[in-house]
Homo-oligomer: A and B are copies of this chain.
Amino acid sequence: MPGISKKAKDMPASPIRKLVPFAETAKKAGKKIYHLNIGQPDIETPAEMLDAIRKSDIKVLEYSHSAGFESYRLKLAAYYKGFQINISASDIIITTGGSEAIAFAMMTCFNPGDEIIIPEPFYANYNGFSCAADLVVKPVRSYIETGFALPPISEFEKLITPKTKGIMICNPGNPTGYLYTREELDLLVVLVKKYDLFLLSDEVYREFCYDGKPYVSVMHLEGIDQNVILLDSISKRYSACGARIGALISKNKEVMNAAMKFAQARLSPPTFGQIGGEAALNTPASYFEKVKTEYTNRRDFVIEALNKMEGVFCPKPSGAFYCIARLPIDDADTFCQWLLEKFEYQQHTVMLAPATGFYATPGAGLDEVRIAYVLNLTDLKQAMLCLEEALKVYPGKTVLKTETVGVSK
């Protein structure tokens, strides 16, 4: 029997999905599970989008252009102009989800062994795509005490080597919910220019900024338009994760021409997803206002509920629909599995994502979990009640640690 590749062995299992078998067993045993472990919103997909797919009069389901429908890219360019992002249709390649945009960007920009600096905790699949592209992730740590603000630039600079070829950020952040300020991003500009790095930015949560705080895109930054690659997806924007439509965007023509070769090799993005994505651009502003109000209420409830629990600390995020909470537990992986295998409260339990999978530094995030507030308030109340009860009886409960990272709570 031939052996599999080193990459296949090294490839990390998804920390978000690896608990799925335990959840399946729990469900079969009759437990109701509140899924706060995955960014799968319960919000309805806009009717405009689904209707367009239902009404399509396709006779032959053909390949599309490898960069995606031109009509869609033209309308997308107008959508981005609404966020003061000045790009044209030719600066856009439609991808199969944001995932493919990340994969294309990494293969286009980096050689095997090249290093990319990513503030941690970060979206776990960045590890997977880096592994697939033989790229070395150098994490720069952000801390729960500062709400996961951008680490000092000096910390980035310590990690720079001749192999460093890029920086990747997620803004608004998954898993932290942190929203970078203009000041923070301007500090990154200096670094990007100084070392001539690529700056990859995953901005799929731009519609989810709260408390009137502004969304600042890497495309707004001055003097680095040849360095910047914007990675996007409609999955969260329209609660349309199953459409598998994203985009890779850059003003750098060499990058776009090369990315196009990867796009051509896989022929085209999904046609029905594109039909839906194009129609979704007609979604009225009222849809987003309603969604934003809903998420704001959920966030406010969850953060308050968490911080009221004994020994729990959770900073209030300004974006996306996640938060990271520190719990009085010995080991987040053990705890999350225990919640599914051993615990129930009124035949309910809650599924969380251990934060360890979002850190590249071994041992980091051991007492942290990511919570996606993607359920309605009624369910969220039950879920928080479950968690509170679970923390009372969890065998690996600890007393609250005081970390000494030099930043006060």
Contacts and interface: CB of A to CB of B under 8 A. Distances in A.
Contacts of A54: 53-56
A267 B97 contact: yes
Nearest to A254: B4
Given A134-B134, A270-B96, A14 B197 contact: no
A393 interface: no
B2 A109 contact: yes
A4 B255 CA distance: 7
Copies of this protein, total: 2
B267 A270 contact: no
Interface string A41-63: 11111000110011110111111
Contacts of A239: 60-61
Interface string A244-287: 10000000101100110110111111111100100000000000
Q: How large is the interface on A (under 10, 10 to 19, 20 to 34, 35 or more residues)?
A: 35 or more
A18 to B, nearest CB: 8
Interface of A is mostly: loop
B254 A268 contact: no
Nearest to A129: B265
Contacts of A71: none
A240 interface: yes
A242 B99 contact: no
Nearest to A46: B61
Interface of A: 1-9, 11-14, 17, 38, 40-45, 49-50, 53-56, 58-64, 66, 96-97, 99-100, 103, 107-112, 114, 125, 128-129, 132, 134, 165-166, 196-198, 226-227, 235, 238-244, 252, 254-255, 258-259, 261-262, 264-273, 276
22 contacts: A5-B110, A7-B111, A8-B109, A8-B261, A11-B261, A42-B60, A53-B56, A61-B238, A62-B242, A64-B242, A96-B266, A96-B270, A97-B267, A99-B267, A107-B132, A128-B264, A242-B271, A242-B272, A244-B267, A272-B272, A272-B273, A272-B276
Given A4-B258, A5-B108, A44-B59, 14 more contacts: A1-B226, A2-B197, A4-B255, A5-B107, A14-B264, A45-B60, A61-B241, A97-B267, A99-B267, A103-B266, A125-B266, A242-B270, A243-B270, A244-B268
